[in-house]
Amino acid sequence: MNVNLDPTHEPSLRSWVASANDASTDFPIQNLPFGRFRLRGDTDARIGVAIGDQVLDLHAAGLVDHADMNRHMQAAPEARRALRHALSEGLREGASQRMTWEPALFPQAAVDMVLPCEVGDYTDFYVGIHHATEIGRQFRPDNPLLPNYQWVPIGYHGRASTLQVSGTAFHRPMGQVKTPEAEQPALAPSSRLDIELELGIFIGSPNAQGKPVRMAQAEQHVFGIALFNDWSARDIQAWEYQPLGPFLSKSFASTLSPWIVTMEALEPFRLPFARPTGHPQPLPYLDSEANRAQGAIDIQMEVVLQTARMAHEGHPGDVISRSNFSKAAYWTVAQLVAHHTVNGCALRSGDLFGSGTLSGPSREQSGSLLELTTGGKHPITLSNGEQRTYLQDGDTIVLRGTCEREGARRIGFGECRGTVLPAYEPEQV
């Protein structure tokens, strides 16, 4: 039994918000994820907690005295846990808070979600070993996994200004593309637009510059996790990534689900973490007894592709991939924090880590079209007969994530949805 479980995780708990008791909801009382929302016609964002198909306005309910999510995230873990307990007690059946909290409830369908917090810095990691191996195999058949991968949590600094909340469409990116037969590159819309099935990890408590975060304290600095789609232009990427890595191929759009599932809510779904047999153990600063005992998190994920034709015909789209964080990730959340700060880097509340593409070991568990179609060589056929190698204009991608196990209440992350619009041609800019 996980020693960090408490009464808020009790699977038999029920809420006076009736929709939270539906077995299919992502947001039962055991979850209580945080996000920001606006009432229609309002310009100010509010802090909310999802409960069933409703959102509870924390300020209107008298639970916080501000509307600053980053301020809330930087609170000490003890304060964040105390608020979770207060929410759990006040939302459960028979609670006396019902009369005063009901006016602070709004239907999620009637509000506009915004990014869950202000993101100052965004780092994209590369923790999916199966993804790294398959991509390496396509580009370096004789040496698919570079030697530093087993020792260093590889990452690069991304662009926070183009992060967008679920439900936001974006334009196909323009960039330099060079085909093998061309003598010089050309500016063109990307024709190899791809997805990346990732998780977004949000920093809560900051650390001081020059002071590394040790493994024993690493997760105390993490507020929670959301779904993350780091859209990628593979043709632009192939031309620009050497020698310094991705640039315009990644910075045009990245989509986040609007709800942050807290680390406390994920406690029932912890698993032991171990390196594959024959792989070297991490250096001591990336290792701890707690990380080995329960560093992995059992998060099931799926990717849905809905074409424009499907949307027109009322078809919800096809599941094209399923994967699991605990089986895909070569590095844990704690290891990412410890490595990111070992050089003295200061993390701030609201900073975002992308996990990197979380592909499983088999083709149907691929977290990108680059893997699913073997670099575009083998198109996937959808249930309506359409085929895809990469995304076309009008395509919508939906990421979903859930956690479930026997003896625990199923929780989810909500949707991470984005739609591809045609590119802006240079004369339109």
Q: Which residues are catalytic?
A: 131
pLDDT at 3 over 90: no
Here the CATH number for the domain that contains residue 362 is 3.90.850.10
Residues 43 and 169 in one domain: no
What's the CA gap between 383 and 232, in Å, rounded? 25
Instruction: Provide the number of structural domains found in the chain.
Output: 2
389 in any annotated domain: yes
pLDDT at 429 over 80: no
Q: pLDDT band for 1, please (50, 70, 90 cuts).
A: very low
pLDDT digits (tens, 9 = 90+) for 236-277: 999 998 888 889 999 999 999 999 999 999 999 999 999 999
Residue range(s) defining the domain that contains residue 24: 7-114
228 in any annotated domain: yes
pLDDT at 147 over 90: no
What's the CA gap between 128 and 81, in Å, rounded? 30
Residues 109 and 188 in one domain: no
Residues 142 and 94 in one domain: no
1 in any annotated domain: no
Classify burial at 239, counting beta carbons within 10 Å of its beta carbon; exposed 0-12, middle 13-18, buried 19 or more.
Answer: middle
Identify the domain boundary among 54, 83, 114: 114
What are the beta bridge partners of residue 164?
A: 255
Closest CA to 425 of 172, 163, 161: 172
For the ranges 27-31, 111-115, 133-137, 220-224, the lowest mean pLDDT is seen at 133-137
Our CA angle for 267, 299, 212, nearest 5°, is 60
The mean pLDDT of the chain is: 95
User: Which pLDDT score, from 0 to 100, does residue 428 have?
Assistant: 58
Identify the domain boundary among 96, 114, 132: 114
Q: Return left, alpha or beta for 183; rule: phi > 0 is left, psi -120 to 50 is alpha, else beta.
A: alpha
User: Which pLDDT score, from 0 to 100, does residue 4 have?
Assistant: 85
Residues 62 and 198 in one domain: no
Single-letter amino acid, residue 313:
E
User: Which pLDDT score, from 0 to 100, does residue 2 have?
Assistant: 61
Cis peptide, bond prior to residue 206, ω within 30 of zero: no
Residues 245 and 284 in one domain: yes
Residues 195 and 54 in one domain: no
What are the beta bridge partners of residue 381?
A: 387
Reading the block at residue 285, the tokens are 């600063």
For the ranges 144-158, 305-319, 383-397, the lowest mean pLDDT is seen at 144-158
User: Which pLDDT score, from 0 to 100, does residue 55 have?
Assistant: 98
Residues 22 and 155 in one domain: no
Cβ within 8 Å of residue 29, ≥6 positions away: 13, 14, 15, 17, 20, 51, 88, 91, 92
